[in-house]
Structure 1
Amino acid sequence: MTGHSFTLAGARLIALPSGALFWPDKSLLCVSDLHLGKSERRARLGSASLPPYETRDTLARLEADLRATGAKTVICLGDSFDDIAAADALSDGEKLWIATLQSGRRWIWIEGNHDPGPVDLGGTYLAELALAPLTFRHIARLGAHGEVSGHYHPKANVKTRGRSLSRPAFLIDTARVIMPAYGTYTGGLRSDNPALATLMSAQAIAVLTGKTARAIPMPR
């Protein structure tokens, strides 16, 4: 399987080019910050409209990752919906698609700051999940070890052919991995932002997403 392989707290993980994290020994796929229903929420709040295709695009990519990995457990690491009302506003077809993806799998929704309440879409809703030797939560905590989190939508800038290019990226060191946002309509926080620089060690790497998973020293 293509991707960047690394070890966190003794667990062998693969950062996939799509922005998903795969734990082969547990047959577990983790995705963060799907922000499903973002276009609906923006329209509801009177913001500039976006084409209403992001939910289906995000679910199609998730379906492809599930097919490629054969994962039996899925963790959605918070902010899976742009808000709770956006979850309720999903179309019947989108809800059925999610139910189809859940079929035959253990599915866990982790609480995020955008969706801090249970969703009526199947699966299990948790504040966080400890699955030794890792802990899955939405927002990283200083001092944690073996932590997988999201929230910040990290991006890393690299120079290629004389121009700067920004890509969503995993940030990885010996204590934690901060996941990129998986959703189609999501912005990002540059890796040199103090919030991320404080959390990550000086030896941290960034794994860029895209056609391939490319590891570089974390830009600071």
Structure 2
Amino acid sequence: MNGHDFSLAGTPLVALGSGALYWPSEGLLCISDLHLGKSERRARLGDGYLPPYETQDTLTRLENDLRLTEATTVICLGDSFDDRAAAQALREEEKLWIAALQAGRRWVWIEGNHDPGPVELGGTHLAELPLPPLLFRHIAKPGQSGEISGHYHPKTTLRTRGRAITRPAFLIDADRVIMPAYGTYTGGLRSDDRVFTDLMRDEAIAVLTGPVPHAVPLPRR
């Protein structure tokens, strides 16, 4: 499997190159910040045009990850939609696609700051989900242990052979994982930003997503 193996709170996990997190013993796949419908929201608010293909691209990658892992539980870690209106504006074939992905699986939508209310789709809607020894929520809280969160869309730059490669990244230490954004049209916050240095331990690592996930010490300012 294309991923970086590590443990959090004694729990073996895999950071996949796609940006999804896999918990093998539980058959659980976690993804964060899909921001489905971002192009629709941008157009609706007059913020500029984006080609309206991000939902199909994101769902295609998710379908591939589900096929790869055979996960029976899926946790969407907040900001699954760019706002509630974007969820309601999904095309019928996209709603049916999500329903097909949910079939036969436990599916949990964690509330995010972009989608604080329930959406009219299948699955369970929760503010956060404790699955001891782990806890799944949208935004990290200081002083937590075993926490898996998203929200910040971390990205990291790797410099090699005179080139700089910037990719979405998992941030990992002994207490927490901050997930990269899974959605196609999501931006990112540099992993040396003060918000991460305040949250992450000194020994934290960043795992760059991509065909071959690559772990590096968390960049610090």
Q: What is the CA distance between 1:10 and its match in structure 2? A: 1.1
Distance 2:114 2:125 in 1: 14
Render the CA deviation track for 1:75-105: whole Å, top value 9, x for unaligned: 0000000000000000000000000000000
Residue in 2 that maps onto 1:124: 124
SS state at 1:107 partner: strand
Q: What is the CA distance between 1:2 and its match in structure 2? A: 2.1
Aligned: 1:96 with 2:88: no
Letter of the 2:196 partner, please give it.
Answer: L
SS state at 1:151 partner: coil
SS state at 1:185 partner: coil
Distance 1:26 1:204 in 2: 25
Render the CA deviation track for 1:34-67: whole Å, top value 9, x for unaligned: 0000000000000110000000000000000000
Residue in 2 that maps onto 1:76: 76
Residue in 2 that maps onto 1:190: 190
SS state at 2:95 partner: helix
Residue in 2 that maps onto 1:216: 216
Letter of the 1:128 partner, please give it.
Answer: E
Residue in 2 that maps onto 1:180: 180
Distance 1:127 1:81 in 2: 15
Question: Contact 2:2–2:211 (CA<8 Å) still a contact in 1?
Answer: no
Residue in 2 that maps onto 1:159: 159
SS state at 1:78 partner: coil
Distance 1:37 1:50 in 2: 10
Letter of the 2:27 partner, please give it.
Answer: S
SS state at 1:44 partner: helix
SS state at 2:113 partner: coil
Q: What is the CA distance between 1:164 and its match in structure 2? A: 1.9
Distance 1:50 1:11 in 2: 40
Distance 2:164 2:64 in 1: 30
Residue in 1 that maps onto 2:53: 53
After TM superposition, where is structure 1 displaced by more than 4 Å over at least 4 residues in a row? none
Q: What is the CA distance between 1:160 and its match in structure 2? A: 2.1
Distance 1:56 1:92 in 2: 12
Distance 1:113 1:5 in 2: 30
Gaps of 5+ in 1: none
Q: What is the CA distance between 1:163 and its match in structure 2? A: 2.5
Distance 2:206 2:52 in 1: 31
Gaps of 5+ in 2: none
Residue in 2 that maps onto 1:19: 19
Q: What is the CA distance between 1:207 and its match in structure 2? A: 0.4
TM-score by length of structure 1 reads: 0.99
Question: Contact 2:207–2:215 (CA<8 Å) still a contact in 1?
Answer: yes
Letter of the 1:46 partner, please give it.
Answer: G
RMSD: 0.5
Residue in 2 that maps onto 1:149: 149
Aligned residues: 220
Distance 2:22 2:150 in 1: 15
TM-score by length of structure 2 reads: 0.99
Residue in 2 that maps onto 1:140: 140
